[in-house]
Amino acid sequence: MMFEAVNKGQRIPDHLIRELPDRAPLLADLPRLREVLAEEGYVLLRNVLPVADVMAARQEVADRLASVGELREPAIDGIVTGVSQRDKVHPDLGAFWKTASEGEKLRSVTHGARMREILGAIHGAPAVGHDLVYLRVAAPGRALDMHYDYPFFAKGTPDLYTVWTPLGDVPVTDGPLFIIDKSNTYRDLIDDVVAAGETASVARKLAYNRPAYEFAEERHTSIMCADLHAGDIIVFSLFTAHGSLDNCSPINRARMSCDVRYQRADMPRDPRYFGENPVGYNGKGYADLNGSKPLTASWITN
């Protein structure tokens, strides 16, 4: 299957793109699912969450953004207006984004029984998700640079998985997650991100702002992506390089998704990501997340 996938403003050549395979059937064979996740560093699990719950979460987030003029009605369609009253109505943008990220319907998806069941099965033990949720609403023109998650999240326990959840349908044109195949085997890069996580050195590069397609060409690997739908999730390790494609929606639709880290419930918990007011990697909590910026903000890449 060929995709019109764009990264850094350039269409990715067809020979560098492969479609993410659906591993949901392996939920009936958990040892094999864990084996594939360990070998490849990622799994796409299609149609494993209740679609009605996901769409209710989408409506909840969309209504919040429509209330500050950023989405047209019906808000659930996600069409960006190009204007915003967010910083006028809510001077504390971090507090605004915290309320958007802690909505009851969103949390019923990110921390609900079905999500805990799946991640518990993957971990082989009861699992708990970080309280800090990375809710992302990416307007056309936005993207996320390729990076590894390890330096940001491994201080409590490195036995973590990121769960990326589309809030509604996210075709490739709208800038969903991409995975760099085999990136969990790149020892040179992994050694570097481990050192960055241990030293917290700002001199070390935690994100790669070069085009992912150039990286894939040099490493003789593929950029894995797919048209995603409400009910799907992608689970990947801290040592799996990923980012998002450019949102090139032809109808000016925002890409809505969220990601959260899950760990075994009996492992040490990083206090930066748990509690009523988690401060996150840089100590600023929700104010530090890209989502806290109005949808009219300029290009965002980290």
Which letter does DSSP use for residue 265 in this model?
Answer: T
Q: Residue 143: is its pLDDT beyond 80?
A: yes
Q: What is the pTM of this model?
A: 0.95
Beta bridge partners of 253: 79
Model confidence pLDDT, tens digit, residues 202-251: 444 556 878 999 999 999 999 999 999 999 999 999 999 999 999 999 99
Distance in angstroms (rounded) separating the CA atoms of residues 286 and 278:
8
Taking 3-state DSSP, the helix, strand and coil percentages for the chain, each rounded to the nearest 5, stand at 35, 20, 45
Q: Residue 105: is its pLDDT beyond 90?
A: yes
Distance in angstroms (rounded) separating the CA atoms of residues 167 and 186:
31
Distance in angstroms (rounded) separating the CA atoms of residues 144 and 129:
22
212 token code pair = 């992912």
Domains and CATH numbers, the chain: 27-292 (2.60.120.620)
Q: Residue 283: is its pLDDT beyond 60?
A: yes
pLDDT of residue 127: 98
The region that residue 70 occupies, defined by phi over 0 for left and psi between -120 and 50 for alpha, beta otherwise, is: alpha
Q: Residue 302: is its pLDDT beyond 70?
A: no
